[in-house]
Amino acid sequence: MLSSSRTTRPGSAGTADRIPVAVHATDPILREGVLSQLRRFPEVELRDEAGSGPGTVALLVDDMLDEAALTRLRRVVRSEGARAVLVVSTLREAELLDVIECGVGAIVWRHEAGAHRLVQAVLAAARGEGDLPADLLGRLIDQVGTLHRNAAGRPGAPGSGLTPREVDVLRLVAEGLDTGEIAGKLSYSERTVKNVIHGLTTRLHLRNRAHAVAHALREGYI
């Protein structure tokens, strides 16, 4: 699901469902503050920064996304194979697609980063789903739409090879619907929806649903 923030009810997971989370923050006081919030939730298993890897959610906290922060982000996602949640105060237009295409599906504004909001984003990232603030989702759609309009004069069809069914699913993902809602809209089973998304992300080497939506927007499918 790529959507604006939704209310979830963290706190009910069993021990077997615990999600390993590594918190990355250059400010040690900020890092300890985030850790103290996450310790309240039994579904979270805290790891040190060196513990990021496949199956881990890396929660990166910074005031702004400078080059050093973007380098750390790329390392934990691309080299270490972790899923990422980015917590920042601001995000410039030029950085937005870089972040999404890097593989980040969950972004939280610093001023909204309470304990439940952080865990909600961690759970979404662990499932490979998207969780973006509503204003940021709108900016993403506007930005990629502009890129597509500027390239509208290029001859030939888009080259990413999405099928009509994949386009239908991604359009509803972009509108913020979850798997069950998409299945109901398209009269598919939830398994079919999951298979469609898994198939296109695997085939096109996309990292998650947010990356798939950004790709479809950039190519002009939605």
> What does 73-112 look like in DSSP terms, one character per residue?
HHIIIIIS--EEEEEES---HHHHHHHHHHT--EEEEGGG
Q: Which pLDDT value is given to residue 160?
A: 53
Please give the structure tokens belonging to residue 42. Answer: 């039994």
d(CA 33, CA 139): 29
Residue 45 has pLDDT above 90, yes or no: yes
**Secondary structure class of 60 (helix, strand, coil):** strand
d(CA 71, CA 198): 27
Give 84 or 206, the one with higher predicted confidence: 84
Cα–Cα nearest to 33, from 100, 88, 114, 104: 114
Give 127 or 155, the one with higher predicted confidence: 127
Cα–Cα nearest to 1, from 124, 103, 139, 123: 124
Paired residues of 85 in beta bridges: 59, 106
d(CA 103, CA 82): 9
Min mean pLDDT across 45-59, 115-129, 146-160 is at: 146-160
Top mean pLDDT of 12-26, 94-108, 184-198 is at 184-198
Q: Which pLDDT value is given to residue 175?
A: 79
Numbers of helices and strands, H then E, in the chain = 9, 5
Min mean pLDDT across 51-55, 61-65, 142-146, 170-174 is at: 142-146
pTM of the model: 0.62
Give 222 or 192, the one with higher predicted confidence: 192
